[in-house]
Amino acid sequence: MIDKLIEGRLLTLLVGSVFRLVEIVVRAIHLGVRGVRIFVQENLTARADARLSVVGKRLVARRTRRDPASIVLLSRDGEYGGDVKYIAEELLRRRSPYRITWALRERSVGPFPRAFSFVRLGTAASVRAIASANVVVQDGDWLQRHHIARSDGQHWLTADGERVEHAGTSDSVPPAARGHARNDVLVSTTPQDAPAVRKKVTDRLGIADAEQRFLLFAPSSDRGLREAQFSGIDFASIRAALARTFGGEWEILIRTDAVDKAHADLLLAGLPSFCHDATFHPDLQELLVVSDAGMTDRAEWIADYLLTRRPAFLFDPRQRELPAAVAATPLAVSTSNRELVDRIEQFDAPAYDRAIAAYLRAYGEPEDGAVAAHIVDRIDALMGVR
CA–CA gap between residue 24 and residue 36 (Å, rounded): 18
Q: What pLDDT does 263 receive?
A: 79
Closest CA to 136 of 179, 101, 182, 184: 101
What are the residues facing 254 on neighbouring strands?
Answer: 217, 277
Residue 2 three-state SS:
helix
Q: What is the pLDDT of residue 356?
A: 94
Using an 8 Å Cβ cutoff, are 117 and 101 in contact? yes
| Cβ(103)–Cβ(130) below 8 Å | yes
Alpha carbons 11 and 1: distance in angstroms, whole number: 10
Q: CB of 179 within 8 A of CB of 366? A: yes
Spatial contact of 134 and 96, defined as CB atoms under 8 Å apart? no
The continuous run of DSSP H or E covering 276 comes out as strand 275-277
* Cβ 118 vs Cβ 104: under 8 Å: yes
**Residue 18 gets which letter from DSSP?**
H
Determine the straight-line distance between the first and last CA of the chain, rounded to whole angstroms: 97
Closest CA to 279 of 251, 252, 255, 253: 255
Distance of CA 148 to the CA centre of its chain: 21
Please tell me the distance from the alpha carbon of residue 89 to that of residue 16, in angstroms, as a whole number: 71
Q: State which H helix or E strand residue 74 sits in.
A: strand 70-74
State whether residue 71 is helix, strand or coil.
strand
Q: Which helix (H) or strand (E) holds 4?
A: helix 2-7
**Nearest of 352, 7, 366 to residue 161 by alpha carbon:** 366
What secondary structure does DSSP assign to 159-214, as a single string? Answer: -SSS-----SS---SPPPPSS-GGGHHHHH--TTTHHHHHHHHHHHHT---SS-EE
Q: Which residues fall within 8 angstroms of residue 1, CB to CB, at 6 or more apart?
A: 10
CB atoms within 10 A of CB 355: 15
pLDDT tens for the chain, residues 1 to 386: 677 667 677 777 777 788 888 889 899 999 999 988 888 888 888 888 888 899 999 999 999 999 999 999 998 878 888 889 999 999 999 999 999 999 988 877 667 888 899 999 889 999 999 999 999 999 878 888 889 989 888 999 877 433 444 444 433 334 445 678 888 889 888 888 899 999 999 999 999 999 999 999 999 876 554 545 576 889 999 999 999 999 999 999 999 877 677 877 888 888 889 999 998 888 899 999 999 999 999 899 999 999 999 999 999 988 889 999 999 999 999 999 999 999 999 999 999 999 999 998 888 666 778 888 888 988 998 888 76
Closest CA to 256 of 234, 237, 231, 292: 231
- CA-to-CA distance for 125 and 120, rounded, in angstroms? 7
Strand-strand pairing, 250-254 and 275-277: parallel
CA separation for the pair 88, 108 (Å, rounded): 17
* pTM confidence score: 0.79
Alpha-helical regions (H) of 215-260 = 228-231, 235-246
